[in-house]
């Protein structure tokens, strides 16, 4: 799906030549993130046997805290650090919990489902970055929760960005309508073949290779006449 056709694109900034949008902007900002976390903690967690016990004593504002954390991680305002304690507070919520891998994996899976329910972007670039952070962050939380773990103190909130060079506008979607420039570029590639096809009595259905072979043969014939 092209980002501009994505149902989650209604609130996000379109890529500009002089501005690469943050993951926070591309997702739709704070309202979109809060919508997702409310779906996650309100719809999926209470019914899930692996996650429900972990959040049985969840504070009423927990969805807002997690949305603020994700927003700051994805390049948005520092609201989690300023309002909710930032890194140290987040780490403290996992120490001693002895989380299991199946709980971590379920957390990632259901948060991705919540993102779908919240109409988050589905373009490959954003989803690659989103899922990469969920996997990375949840595995660190799993590690920090184990008996005897000593997470490093006073670390900054991580700032996540696009995966490698997979940014909005870095590629042309196969589902996007071709622009005049793309059409001209493609036509220019086949222009020599089209010209020789006309002289050789070939059609493009005969294939570029046959047309090129015919062009080479014609060139050889011209040289033999010289």
**pLDDT at 113 (0 to 100):** 98
User: Does 202 have pLDDT greater than 80?
Assistant: no
Give the chain's length. 226
pLDDT of 141-187, one tens digit each?
999 999 998 888 888 888 999 988 777 877 777 777 776 555 444 54
Say which CATH architecture domain 3-144 belongs to: Orthogonal Bundle (1.10)
Domain extents for the chain?
3-144, 180-225
**pLDDT at 124 (0 to 100):** 94
Count of CB atoms within 10 A of residue 182's CB? 12
- Give the residue-averaged pLDDT of 201-206: 49
- Give the residue-averaged pLDDT of 61-80: 94
- Give the residue-averaged pLDDT of 2-15: 43
Backbone phi and psi for residue 119, each to the nearest 5 degrees, phi listed first: 60, 45
Q: Measured between alpha carbons, how far is 161 from 21 in angstroms, rounded to an integer?
A: 10
Burial 191-212 (b: 16+ CB within 10 A, else e): eebeebbeebebeeeeeeebbe
What 8-state DSSP symbol labels residue 60?
A: T
List the single range of 58-62, 121-125, 128-132, 219-223 with lowest mean pLDDT.
219-223
User: Does 2 have pLDDT greater than 80?
Assistant: no
pLDDT of 99-112, one tens digit each?
999 999 999 999 99
Would you say the pTM of this structure is higher than 0.95? Answer: no
């Amino acid at each position: 799906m092209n980002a501009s056709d994505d149902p989650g694109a209604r609130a996000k900034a379109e890529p500009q030549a002089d501005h690469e949008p943050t993951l926070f902007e591309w997702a739709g900002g704070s309202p979109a993130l809060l919508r997702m976390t409310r779906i996650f903690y309100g719809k999926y967690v209470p019914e899930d046997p692996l996650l429900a016990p972990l959040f049985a004593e969840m504070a009423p504002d927990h969805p807002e805290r997690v949305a603020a954390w994700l927003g700051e991680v994805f390049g948005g305002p520092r609201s989690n650090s300023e309002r909710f304690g930032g890194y140290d507070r987040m780490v403290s919520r996992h120490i001693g919990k002895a989380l299991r891998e199946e709980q971590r994996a379920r957390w990632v899976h259901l948060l991705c489902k919540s993102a779908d329910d919240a109409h988050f972007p589905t373009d490959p670039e954003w989803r690659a970055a989103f899922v990469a952070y969920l996997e990375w962050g949840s595995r660190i939380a799993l590690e920090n929760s184990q008996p005897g773990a000593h997470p490093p103190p006073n670390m900054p909130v991580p700032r996540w960005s696009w995966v490698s060079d997979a940014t909005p506008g870095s590629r042309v979607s196969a589902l996007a309508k071709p622009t005049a420039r793309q059409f001209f570029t493609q036509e220019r590639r086949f222009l020599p073949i089209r010209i020789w096809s006309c002289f050789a009595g070939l059609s493009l259905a005969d294939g570029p290779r046959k047309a090129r072979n015919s062009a080479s043969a014609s060139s050889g014939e011209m040289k033999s006449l010289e």
